[in-house]
């Protein structure tokens, strides 16, 4: 499991995440959720299908998430369970350079999500989710407030 990774392995995964990974979170409209949105965090590693065997070794090392092949031949290793995201980010955080701010904010979002008790708490969580997009390249999505 992730806790048994050596420091070298953690550093390697952090470097891979810095270079060929993505950390993001979305507030997806979903009327079945308490405040009408599902907070969905993700970590995704990318690699060409031509590197599938070696990439598979990295996926086994991480040991959480699932692998999928996109129609354009890109492999995606997706981690979308909150507990697994938190564990992985805590393991690689000391070694990350380029995505350190994303890691810190994602950990803050995960912590805030677990403490939502009312609409005001959820509003604060949505603000954190919206601030996340400023750290990434996608500036298109922004969730509106629950109140007009």
Enumerate residues 6+ apart whose C-beta is below 8 A from 123: 145, 146, 147
Which one from 19, 36, 73, 120 is the annotated catalytic residue?
Answer: 19
Reply yes or no on whether 83 is catalytic: no
Reply yes or no on whether 65 is catalytic: no
Which one from 18, 20, 104, 121 is the annotated catalytic residue?
Answer: 20
Secondary structure of residue 79 in the 3-state scheme? strand
How far CA 24 is from CA of 18, 54, 56, 119, 136, in Å, comes to 13, 25, 22, 23, 8
Looking up tokens 């810095």 gives 18
* Torsional sign, CA 19, 63, 67, 125: negative
Task: Point out the residues that are catalytic.
Answer: 19-20
């Amino acid at each position: 499991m992730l806790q048994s990774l050596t420091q070298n392995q953690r550093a390697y995964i952090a470097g891979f995440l810095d270079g060929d990974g993505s950390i993001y979170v979305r507030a997806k409209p979903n009327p079945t959720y308490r405040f009408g949105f599902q907070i969905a965090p993700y970590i995704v590693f990318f690699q060409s299908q031509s590197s599938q065997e070696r990439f598979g070794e990295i996926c086994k090392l991480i040991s959480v998430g699932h692998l999928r092949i996109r129609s354009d031949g890109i492999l995606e290793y997706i981690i979308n369970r909150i507990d697994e995201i938190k564990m992985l980010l805590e393991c690689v955080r000391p070694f990350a350079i380029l995505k350190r701010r994303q890691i810190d904010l994602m950990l803050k979002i995960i912590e805030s999500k677990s403490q939502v008790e009312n609409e005001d708490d959820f509003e604060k969580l949505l603000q954190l989710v919206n601030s996340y997009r400023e750290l990434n390249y996608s500036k298109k999505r922004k969730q509106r407030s629950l109140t007009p």
